[in-house]
Amino acid sequence: MASVIREANGRKRIEFVKADGSRPRIRLGKATALQAETARRSVEDLLGGGKPGRETTEWLAGLDDRIYRRVVKAMPDHVKPRETLVPTPAVTLCDFIDRFIERQAGKKSNTLKNLQQSRRWLLDCFGEARDIETIGPAEAEDFRVFMLKGGSKKRPQGENTVRRHVGRARQFFRAAIRRGQYHKVNPFDGLDTKVRANKARDYFIDRETADKVLDACPNNEWRLLFSLSRFGGLRCPSEHLELKWGDIDFEKGRILVHSPKTEHHEGKETRLIPMFRELRKPLLDVYHEAPEGSEYVVTGYRDKTANLRTQLKRILKRAGLKPWQKLWHNLRASRQTELSETFPAHVVCGWLGNTTAIAQEHYLQIRDSHFAQAITEPRENAAQNAAQHTPVSTGNGDNVENLVGVTNEKGPEFPGLSEPCEYLHGIQVPLRGVEPLSSG
């Protein structure tokens, strides 16, 4: 065990007991309590005899030559002089990221595509031959600003896009630390990587707009693709392409949705949704056209390189509509907003395969109809309220006859504790003085 010994004038030293009973000491000079504690833990790590941990390696690398020689003198069996150390070859940014991506061979194609995009941004900022040990927190902040300004191609990126790439850069360096190729704290740890919703891009696709789009679709399969997103709330294209005829129960009116996006979460591989009335006809139309023995519902766009976004823009143009910014996402968000007005939140989130927090942040929208409903009171409610709040006069007897014999249906009842009340207005009370009656 090693101990921190405090000396005069803020100086500190580390003492420990060797197997032969000797008590070597390592003078640290003036050091903070945190620095001394780090030194103590590192000495104990070295005494353990195994491979030094990351904190110990960083501590040794950060010592000046004078204190490093003191450590060597006190622990010659555990620490070698710096001049005898073989320099570790630099790990270049390009080589490390390429090897990292090679190890992700089993990942989904979109995941690999996103990693490649982040690789291009990092190499554009730092260069292929950059030693990863020379990239610290300041350089990580420079990378964020570099992307916001558009990099060498001067194409500024949005804040959410930058956060995604920063998150993948942090993933790269986390792997480098685990493999012992980077010996510092992750430089991207202090940067914000949370993607936040941009409410300015929200757009609610109402029923009238949806009908125009359906009328402009070129075939039944496209009408089904659109309906599955707008009325089924499916993610496009991943959940559309996974849908099989065996997943559709026309008799019970239910559809089993396979979700590649959430399948890595336990119990989130699939979800069951109702066959909403808006989906039955498009499904039947495609079913009757499907070739004998077809397995998948969507057959015409199974190539993952097919650009459904571009084709949907053509359909919107044909319908005389201006494309909204998040073409497919806003269809799904419109459905979640619509269903949330009728069903409990946990039910809707179960059908759409997200959480209430995600729905609140990225899906639910405030519509103009909500404002209109809030400020416009239905006529039947207004009439009911007026009847409930009609004043009843008991001072001059004008409305007394209207109350005689009327039972208060909404009054509280206490069975066994109360007697029926009688209407007392008009009953003659004998004239008496103000004093109570005497016993005589």
Give one DSSP letter per residue of 408-423, joined into a string.
-TTS---TTT------
| Residues 116-134 pLDDT 10s | 999 999 999 999 999 999 9
- Per-residue model confidence as pLDDT tens digits over 312-366: 999 999 999 999 989 999 999 999 999 999 999 999 999 999 888 888 878 888 8
Query: pLDDT of 155-185, one tens digit each?
Result: 999 899 999 999 999 999 999 988 888 888 8
pLDDT at position 84 is: 62
Asked whether the beta carbons of 255 and 272 are under 8 A apart, the reply is: yes
Residue 15 confidence (pLDDT) above 70: yes
pLDDT of residue 227: 96
205 or 399, higher pLDDT: 205
Burial of 213 (0-12, 13-18, 19+ CB in 10 A): buried
pLDDT at 351: 95
Confidence of residue 398 (pLDDT cuts 50, 70, 90): very low
**CA end-to-end distance (rounded Å), the chain:** 102
pLDDT at 241 over 80: yes
Domains and CATH numbers, the chain: 2-84 (no CATH), 93-178 (1.10.150), 200-368 (1.10.443.10)
Give the pLDDT confidence score for residue 196 in this predicted structure: 80
**Does the pTM of the predicted model rise above 0.85?**
no
One-letter amino acid for residue 428 of the chain: Q
Q: Does residue 91 or residue 420 have the better pLDDT?
A: 91
H or E element, residue 249: strand 248-249
Q: For tokens 């270049």, what's the residue?
A: 92
Mean of the per-residue pLDDT values of the chain: 83
Confidence of residue 48 (pLDDT cuts 50, 70, 90): confident
Q: Residue 374 pLDDT > 50, yes or no?
A: yes
